[in-house]
Structure formats: C-alpha cells, structure tokens
Amino acid sequence: MKALVLDDSMNLQIKECEKPIVKPNEVLIKVKASAINHRELWIQQGLYPGLTLPCILGADGSGIVAKVGEDVDTDWLNEDIIIYPGYDWGENEEYPSRAFRVLGMPDPGTMAEYITVPVKNIVKKPKYLSWAEASAIPVASLTAWRALTRHGKIKPGDNILITGIGGGVAQAGLALALAFKANVYVTSSSKKKIAFAKTLGAIDGVNYKDEDWNVQLKEMSKGIDIVLDSSPSSILDDYFKFMNYGGRIVTYGSTGSRKTTINISKFFLRHIQFIGTAMGSPNEFKALIAFLEDHKIKPLIHEQFYFESGLEAFDALRKGTQIGKIVLVH
Ligand SMILES: NC(=O)c1ccc[n+]([C@@H]2O[C@H](COP(=O)([O-])OP(=O)(O)OC[C@H]3O[C@@H](n4cnc5c(N)ncnc54)[C@H](OP(=O)(O)O)[C@@H]3O)[C@@H](O)[C@H]2O)c1
C-alpha cells in the first residue's frame, strides 16, 4: 500500500509499504481521509519527544472498516468510522498514563491506504459529516473539547479568549464555545482572520503583535473568564490586564514561545489558574462526537489535497495562512 512516510533521514515521501495485518481485537481501516496537525511539522523539525523513524505520519483519520480481527463484533464490518487518535490513555479521566501516545509516530499513522487500530479506537461517523470533515475532527476538536469543558468549565455567558484563531484547535474551540453560548474574542496576526472569525460568531478580536493588545482586549471584553491558548505570551502578566478573578488560562501549545515569565503575586491574588492540557480521553472523544452531532457542528476545512499531493499539503500548513484544517483525501 502507499503511505506518507518520514524516513530515517527526515525526508518526507510517499512510498510503498506493507499493508498491516489485523490482529485480535483490531480492525483494518481503509482510510478515506486524513488531516494534518502542527504535530507533524514538529516531528519533521525533530522537535517532538521520542522521535522514532521511519514512520507513517498522521493522527487524524476517517474510513471504512475493511476487516475485523478475532474477537471483534462483525457488525463493525463496512461501518463508516472516525479514529480516536491515541493509545493507552489509561483509566484516569483527569490525565493520561505515561504510556499515552498519539497515532503517527512512533505507531504507524493515518496517512496511508490502510491502518489497523484496536476496535476500542473507533467511533461511528455521524452521517452529516463528509469523509474530509470527519477526518478533520479528532486531534483539534478533542483538544479544544477537553480544554473548554474539563479544564475551562465553560458555561453560557462566559467570556472566552481564543488565541491564534487561524489554528485548527482554535477554530474547533470557536465552534464549540459558540455552541455553549459563550462570548468569544480572538487574537490573530491577520486582520482577515479576525474579520472571518467575526462572520462565524466571534464578537471581536485583536492583533497579538500590537504592543497594547491586552489593553485593547480588556476594553472590548470588559474581562475574560477562560483563555484557550495555543501560544502563551512570553510574559504571562500580559494576561492579568484582562483576566477576571478566578479565570482559567488553558494552554495546549507553544507555537510562539516555549518560555514565559509570571508575576506570581498578581497570579495568586486573582485566583487565576494556569492549566496544561493535551488531547483527551476515549470517553471525552465519544462525548465530543455526540455533542458535535447534536449541534450539527462541522469542522472548518481550509483546503483539501489528494493524498498523492501530500507533500504540497504540508507546504500549505508551513505557510501558516490557513484558517482551519488541511485535509488529504485518499
Ligand atoms: N496539546 C495538544 O493536544 C495539541 C493538539 C493540537 C495542537 N497542539 C499545538 O497547538 C498549536 C496550534 O496547533 P494547530 O494545529 O491548532 O494550529 P495550526 O493549524 O498549526 O495553526 C497555527 C496558528 O498559530 C497561530 N500563531 C502563530 N504564531 C503565534 C503567536 N506568536 N501567538 C499566537 N498565535 C500564533 C497562527 O494564527 P494566526 O494566523 O491567527 O496569527 C496560526 O494560524 C501547535 O503548537 C500545536 O503543536 C497541541
């Protein structure tokens, strides 16, 4: 079968690989679409922990169950599914086990004609979603879901700031927060992206490159309860200008800067929480898909490429001009 492989010299290429053999409790999926995440760029830059090459990339995918292994209910055969993109979350809903890992390095990923996963890793694809839409959900929407529900404790009327609104998680967070009837503000380096977010339902936004971005945000929002943050400011004190007492900064990425400084006294006197999160549990994934189906929420797709043009799709992500997900149609 053909697969998008990062080889041990860090070259990304489409090459012929062995079709995986389905084991007991597993299903063989014929992949119909896969989506790109920033993670695959970190891996290609050697910046992802536990680099093990060569590897088929891709955490996000949707497809059809082509074969079921021993001990798997044959009702799954020919079912349209979405793949839960992690292994070994463990029993604790609060945080994953040390063995938790995301598909697509070191385990083979979704950017291939076929993938095998344990049957517990699949969820039926809601019919209102296309293959491409379904593949664009797992990593981004699950990360946003856990950040907003478990950590952010989102409720109607909350004021929410979503940073870097061009990103896949940020876009998923916008759709979810609006469904929860929250008031959403955004940051972006692009006026066009802020204007687009407003057409989707955001109230307003500021350019995070403006020196007084936090003052502007305080003026327009009168105070923020939850920050869904892909890129904490290098000076976390920037946030204290607009955070409400008891506010939660939930961070899932470090796109802009890997380090931040903080004025501790402002932090504790305002009862602010700074919370880290990554992806979500299998139970949260099921809850997310049910919520999306109830609200008929579709992920925003920026651009679709045929699988054969996978390398161009990665170039598109590198440019950073996207609003939403970049998808490979297999
Ligand atoms: N923890 C997890 O489970 C998890 C899951 C998914 C992603 N992530 C991480 O989250 C980050 C975003 O990933 P993604 O796939 O959603 O996004 P993405 O599609 O790669 O988009 C990146 C976005 O980041 C924004 N950005 C760039 N520099 C920024 C800065 N200095 N401050 C604020 N925003 C900035 C840009 O927004 P504008 O164009 O609007 O300026 C850009 O659209 C990455 O660091 C990724 O590794 C973590």
Q: Indicate if 14 and 73 belong to the same structural domain.
A: yes
232 lines ligand 1 (CB under 6 A): no
Cβ atoms < 10 Å from Cβ of 16:
8
Report pLDDT for 135.
98
Residues 148 and 114 occupy one common structural domain = no
Is 291 contained in some domain?
Answer: no
**Per-residue confidence (pLDDT) for residue 50, from 0 to 100:** 87
Q: Average pLDDT for consecutive 10-residue bins of the chain (330 residues)?
A: 96 96 98 96 90 96 98 98 98 97 97 98 98 98 98 98 94 98 97 96 97 97 97 89 97 88 91 97 98 97 96 91 92
324 and 269 part of one domain: no
Ligand 1: does its nearest atom lie under 6 Å from the Cβ of 299? no
* Together in a domain, 67 and 176: no
Q: Is 149 in the same domain as 270?
A: yes
- Within a domain: residue 178? yes
Q: Which atom of ligand 1 is nearest to the CA of 171?
A: 16
Say if 171 falls within a structural domain: yes
The verdict on 99 and 117 lying in the same domain is yes
Domain of residue 262, residue span: 141-276
Quick check: CB of 231 below 6 Å from ligand 1? yes
Looking at residue 83, its pLDDT comes to: 98
Is the CB of 101 inside a 6 Å radius of any atom of ligand 1? Answer: no
**Using CB atoms within 10 A of its CB, is residue 62 exposed (0-12), middle (13-18) or buried (19+)?**
buried
- Rounded to whole angstroms, how far apart are CA atoms 62 and 32? 6
Q: At residue 281, what are phi and psi to the nearest 5 degrees?
A: -85, 165
* 156/214 same-domain check: yes
Q: Please report how many Cα atoms fall inside a 13 Å half-sphere around the Cα of residue 154, on the Cβ side.
A: 27
Pair 148, 126 in one domain: no
CA distances from 161 to 148, 173, 271 (A): 11, 10, 18
Return d(Cα 178, Cα 187) in angstroms, integer: 16
Ligand 1 atom closest to residue 279's alpha carbon, by position in its atom list: 3
200 lines ligand 1 (CB under 6 A): no
CA angle 261, 267, 269 (to 5 degrees): 155
**Residue of 186, 230, 321 to mutate, ligand 1, most atoms within 8 A of C-beta:** 230
**Is the shortest distance between the CB of 313 and ligand 1 below 6 Å?**
no
Whether 125 lines ligand 1, by a CB cut-off of 6 Å, is: no
Return the number of other C-beta atoms located less than 10 Å from residue 36's C-beta: 29
Give the model's pLDDT for residue 49: 86
Give 71 Cα–ligand 1 centroid separation in angstroms: 40
Classify 203 as helix, strand or coil.
Answer: coil
Residues 21 and 131 occupy one common structural domain: yes
Distance 319 CA to ligand 1 centre (A): 12
- The string of DSSP letters for 80-135 reads EEEE--EE---S-SSS--TT-EESSSSS--SSBSEEEEEGGGEEEPPTTS-HHHHH
Do residue 128 and residue 168 come from a single domain?
Answer: no
Could you tell me if 62 and 131 are in contact, meaning their C-beta atoms sit under 8 angstroms apart? yes
Q: Which helix (H) or strand (E) holds 195?
A: helix 191-200
Alpha carbon distance 287, 123 (integer Å): 11
The DSSP 8-state label assigned to residue 23 in this structure reads P
Asked whether residue 283 is assigned to any structural domain, the reply reads no
Residue 285 lies in a domain: no
For ligand 1, atom 30: residue with the closest CA: 256
Question: Rounded to whole angstroms, how far apart are CA atoms 38 and 330?
Answer: 20
By the 8 A CB rule, do 184 and 203 touch?
A: yes
45 falls within a domain: yes
Q: Is 303 in the pocket of ligand 1 (CB under 6 A)?
A: no
Please report, for the domain that includes residue 325, its CATH number: 3.90.180.10
* 130 in a structural domain: yes
**Total structural domains in the chain?**
2
Residues 102 and 104: their CA atoms lie apart, in Å, by: 7
- Is residue 146 located within the same domain as residue 196? yes
Q: Which pLDDT score, from 0 to 100, does residue 197 have?
A: 97
Q: Is the CB of 278 under 6 A from ligand 1?
A: yes
Residue 120 falls inside a structural domain: yes
Q: Same structural domain for residues 105 and 147?
A: no
Residue to mutate (ligand 1; options 135, 255, 314, 327; most atoms within 8 A of CB):
255
38 Cα to the center of ligand 1, angstroms = 7
Atom 34 (ligand 1): residue with closest C-alpha?
164
* Ligand 1 centroid to residue 22 C-alpha, Å: 35
